[in-house]
Amino acid sequence: MARKKKAKGKPDYRMAWFLAVLGTIAFGFGAWGAYNGWLTQKWPRAEAEIVDATLTQHQRETRDVQRPDRWTTFDVHYLYRIDGKVYLGGGIEPYAFGMQNSAGAKKMADAYPVGAKTQVAYNPQDAHEAYLMPGPSSFSLILLALGVFFWLMGLLARRMIRLGPEDPDDKAPEMPAKKPVTLDPQIADYYRKPGNEKS
């Protein structure tokens, strides 16, 4: 049976609004970071040399002593020359909000060892700003996905609140009891007569 709509009281949509606000904040930051990261793809390039690359393992104690929280970060510095002037950069992804993925950090450490030559994108308005991996950062894309997820959860929560809890009286109708089979009186009299009983 379909659930009945709430008949009493005003629905409380605070949880739905809370999820919608979270989704808007996450999507807003993600869209801002992804758009500005996308703009860096149009920046000019310069040849750079990796002069420092450090892969750091971090560990934080948790309640489960046998399974502490571990993650990995990658720090890099490189030299690049523009119009005869040498700059020292350390940017990896633009607008990453200081976040890194542990698996991505290990891949970057393998891709950018000390002494490696690579191309960096630098800001034509401020050559001190440069990035190894121009374009939308992975974290900004995660924020976009989280924003959409929270919006969908908010819509689902709003629908469930609007419908309300299932009415306990809303049960499947009971099947009517079967009536006992009655024998036709004439047939019954026939079988009562002597000699008509079945052997």
Query: How is 45-103 classified by DSSP, letter by letter?
Result: EEEEEEEEEEEEEEEE--SSTTS-EEEEEEEEEEEEEETTEEEEE---STT-TT---HH
The pLDDT value recorded for residue 187 is 65
What average pLDDT does range 163-178 have in this prediction? 62
Domain positions in the chain are: 14-159
Please give the Cα distance from 140 to 55 (Å, whole number): 22
Report which of 37, 26, 110 is spatially closest to residue 72, judged by C-alpha positions: 110
What average pLDDT does range 9-29 have in this prediction? 88
- 121, 133 Cβ separation under 8 angstroms: no
The pLDDT value recorded for residue 144 is 95
pLDDT tens-digit series, residues 127-164: 999 999 999 999 999 999 999 999 999 999 888 888 87
The pLDDT value recorded for residue 42 is 94
Query: Structure tokens of 198?
Result: 């079945």
The pLDDT value recorded for residue 59 is 80
Give how far Cα 63 sits from Cα of 31, 57, 183, Å.
36, 20, 76
Residue 4: pLDDT over 60: no
pLDDT tens-digit series, residues 73-132: 899 999 999 999 999 999 999 998 888 887 888 889 999 999 999 999 999 999 999 999
Structure confidence at residue 169 as a pLDDT band (50, 70, 90): low
The pLDDT value recorded for residue 125 is 94
What average pLDDT does range 55-68 have in this prediction? 74
Edge-to-edge strand list for the sheet holding 126-131: 85-89, 69-82, 45-60, 117-123, 126-131
What average pLDDT does range 7-23 have in this prediction? 81
The residue that leads in pLDDT, 70 or 74, is 74
Prediction pTM value: 0.67
The residue that leads in pLDDT, 58 or 63, is 58
Buried b (16+ CB within 10 A) or exposed e, 97-122: eeebbeebbeebbeebeeeeebebbb
Structure confidence at residue 11 as a pLDDT band (50, 70, 90): confident
The pLDDT value recorded for residue 88 is 96
pLDDT tens-digit series, residues 25-41: 999 999 999 999 999 99
